[in-house]
Amino acid sequence: MDLQWSPKRSDHLVIWSQDITLYQIEECGGDEALRQGSIRLSDTKAAAYLAKITDFPYSKVVEIYPGDVEGLIACGLVNGKIALTSFLNPANNKEIAPKHPRQVLSVQWNKLQPNLLAAGFEKARSDHAVAVWDVTTIGSKQQPNGSSNANPMEDVHPLVELGINETASSLSWVLPKSILIGMNGKHIKLFDLRDSQPKLGNTTSTKAVNGISVDTLCHNRVVSYAENQAFVWDMRNFEKPFVVLNHSKPISKVAWCPTRSGLLACLEKDSTFLTLHDVHHAALSEEGDPAVLERRLYPAYSEDVCNPNCASPPLCSFAWHCSDENLITTCTPKGVLWNSVVFERMTLNWSSTSKFGWSNGKKTILYIDNTDKLYTFLDDISVKMRQRAIDGYGLKTTLRENGMVVQDSETTRNIWLWLDYCKALTEKEKYLVPSVGTLKYPGVRVVLRIDSAVGAPAGSLKSEVVNNTSFDLHNNKTYRRSYRSEERSFIQQLCGWNQGVLQDLQGSPTRRAAIALFHLKMRQAIKILNESNHSIVAMAIAGFNDDESSLWRELAQSNCNQLDDPYIRAIFAFLTESDSNYETILKEKEISLADRMGFACSFLPDGKLISFVNELTHDLIKTGNLPEEILDAVLLTGMTTQAIPLLQKYVDYTADIQTVALLVVRTMALEISNSSLLKLWTERYRELLDSWKLWEQRAEFDIVKNTNNPALVPQPEVSVSCNFCGKSISSTGMTNLARSAQLFNRFSASNAKLKLSCCPSCRKPLPRCSICLMHMGTILGTSKELQPLLPSSMTSSEAVACWYTWCQSCRHGGHTLHLQHWFETQAECPVSGCTCKCITLDRVVDFSSGGS
């Protein structure tokens, strides 16, 4: 028993065994009784009997006509005859008889030219194995109205005969005029039938000559089988199969899915399941062998079709539906049919532009883009980076302007503003701090010469000790020791502790009060707290007593840790500190790094200051987890190579490679060629811009990078060479003529750039324009002379119009403007005797559309 779905009527199914029966698919309920002669196919579908052909019992092969004539089929019989019959008039048959009676092994219509029918036969002496007929020449027997005036046993000569004294085990049409045949159990041959004499196009030696089938969605992909192996071929490389599929039992049938590229179904003899191979996803594994996704399909019969307590019956055949996606129908020797749907793997697709979707085959289950509220909840950094790139982030003229683009991120904005401030401060103060050298963005470590980044010896800091009367109180006779130097002053300015900090204090009231107190201005601190909601704290501070045994100091030390505000804790810790280490304040992580650094520069001696900076840098690189901590640590390293570990940690934590790449090209471009990490960040961001199709932003990024470091400008990859000496005629090869060019310009009335019209090496003339016959490099008139020739929309493309261009086929060329005018009315090359159709080989620049 075998079956086939109609290629034209999606609701028609043909089944043949002893007879050939046509069924029509109709809806049915799961508990609904079927009409007599109907067959249940699934819980919702049934096959209703329509017609039957009994004239050709036990047909070897049956093929439904793919053309417009409904109900027409071709039957291959055991005696070698090909019968053309119709379900509309089964009594009106047409038979084609070969010269020698022998079994028909395969029959197939040409789907692109349905009038062609090919049949393969067993071997016969002095007869051909394959014959191709044009059914339109076989009388008029198969008219839709059933009329007949021809002999049913007409001797029709085939259009093509192939393989004399051979056996055609199987065949398949490839293209309208090409056919693939498995012959003699040894070869698969491809014949080209376009000429009157067929030509052997390709051949391969193999025992797999059975069941040849071409994937209708990829005509280069072919399958055949022998015994328990299925071979998948690529006809572009027919020497060996690119996939061999092994099975445990002999194979009885193979077929490609007509709605899904690369999906192959294989049926083993006496098997209860189908094996599905996804050849489309074949990929090379580590061993070099192709890997094919494989799964099994078991028909899920209903209880009224097959008893679930019994073993599933073996399958004898199957057929893919021609239009319903991934629908396959199986049958058993006892006539049990069942529809099964091959479910696709649900794939998750996420594009670089943040388009996100689930799909199942050709159906989209869910699709969202970055405008969906889900992305608002996710706070996806890639969406932010793309929008920032569109807004010109990182490419603004000043660093401050770039900070204004990222108003949604205070941390990112602050780093740009600090770098802008650092650059201005360095330009102003660099002569006072020799350790800064030529650096534009130094950090604390550079200023203190902790690392030998600028060549100065480590530990050369020497500060002046200053004893100050404590807190500007008249009745206080104790002193607070502080330290001064140009380096400390510069660092405090980097931290925002400039000379006018007390006149323009920023931040919360408690921070402003703490900064005033750290500058020993207790009255100002009390005033700030009293004017805010911290009058109780102001009153407590006003009772300050510097006596180490006083009750005020005892209570302040015991209750300091219970305070919530870190700056208030720092105030009381500063007032009650018994030694000069100030560890309580310096280790208070809730106080900003800049404020702690500014405090340390005032009150720590040289040795302890350097130790504090080292410990702080180490802790932030090793344990810093918050983005604000990492970027704040740039204050310690500056934008130097010491900042690379911090930037890498920031990328690991936030995935914001955009900010890091932009910071690098704006502040560390000279170091890119010396650091693999800096190269990696900049290249990945370039690739990211390309994936977003932000070509202009990527080009501007390259311009900024190459401007800040000319060494990064890529060398030209394409050059124009001389026809005579073969050397480049680009501007880089014109150094030999520089002196003569300068001499010429000295006597020339025009200051225009000299364009050479000869090779700078051999002095032979450059190619001529095919239209004006002037050499390449000759100036194409002045702007006023060009103006009448140019369309109004092309005035900005004068330079492009003067460029020299040429055909990649015939190598003839000329000025772009001249060729543009020529090909407006001509198709052939303007050079006499050249018949090249240059305009049809490539697209000419359309100046009328803006020269793009």
Distance between alpha carbon 324 and the CA centroid of its chain, in Å? 31
SS3 831: coil
Q: What is the pLDDT of residue 34?
A: 80
Radius of gyration from C-alpha coordinates of the chain: 43
Name the DSSP class of 112.
S
Q: What does the alpha-carbon distance between residue 830 and residue 814 come to, in Å, rounded to a whole number?
A: 10
Q: What does the alpha-carbon distance between residue 547 and residue 752 come to, in Å, rounded to a whole number?
A: 84
Name the DSSP class of 244.
E
Q: What is the pLDDT of residue 761?
A: 84
SS3 242: coil
696-721 as b/e: b if 16+ CB within 10 A: ebbebbbebbeebbeebeeeeeeeee
Q: What does the alpha-carbon distance between residue 133 and residue 159 come to, in Å, rounded to a whole number?
A: 5
Predicted TM-score (pTM) of the model is: 0.63
pLDDT tens sequence across 768-787: 889 888 887 766 654 444 44
Q: Which residues, including other chains, have CB under 8 Å from residue 205's CB and lie 6 or more apart?
A: 186, 187
Segments making up each domain of the chain, as ranges: 65-169, 439-708, 721-739+754-766, 780-852
Of 401, 436, 399, 412, the C-alpha closest to 640 is 436
Structure tokens at 486: 């140009």
Q: What does the alpha-carbon distance between residue 660 and residue 634 come to, in Å, rounded to a whole number?
A: 12
Q: What does the alpha-carbon distance between residue 246 and residue 6 come to, in Å, rounded to a whole number?
A: 31
Q: What does the alpha-carbon distance between residue 109 and residue 89 come to, in Å, rounded to a whole number?
A: 20
Phi, psi torsion values for 435, nearest 5 degrees: -65, -20
Structure tokens at 757: 């019209």
Alpha carbon distances (Å) from 669 to 155, 406, 659: 85, 22, 14
* SS (HEC) of 625-677: CCHHHHHHCHHHHECCHHHHHHHHHHHHHHCCHHHHHHHHHHHCHHHHHHCHH
Query: How many CA atoms does the CB half-sphere of 242 hold within 13 Å?
Result: 18
Which single residue is written with the structure tokens 């019209």?
Answer: 757
Ranges of residues in the chain with a pLDDT under 70 are: 30, 90-91, 139-155, 281-291, 308, 361, 451-460, 469-479, 549, 578-579, 625, 712-718, 730-756, 778-799, 842-852
- Residue 804 · residue 825 · CB < 8 Å: no
Phi, psi torsion values for 608, nearest 5 degrees: -70, -30
Structure tokens at 755: 């364009």
Of 695, 701, 700, the C-alpha closest to 681 is 701
- Residue 694 · residue 715 · CB < 8 Å: no
Structure tokens at 584: 């309580």
Name the DSSP class of 235.
T
Angle, helices 566-576 vs 551-559, to 10°: value is: 140
Phi, psi torsion values for 16, nearest 5 degrees: -135, 145
Q: What is the pLDDT of residue 15?
A: 93
Q: What does the alpha-carbon distance between residue 181 and residue 582 come to, in Å, rounded to a whole number?
A: 92
Q: What does the alpha-carbon distance between residue 21 and residue 38 come to, in Å, rounded to a whole number?
A: 11
Alpha carbon distances (Å) from 840 to 151, 204, 770, 826: 54, 38, 18, 11
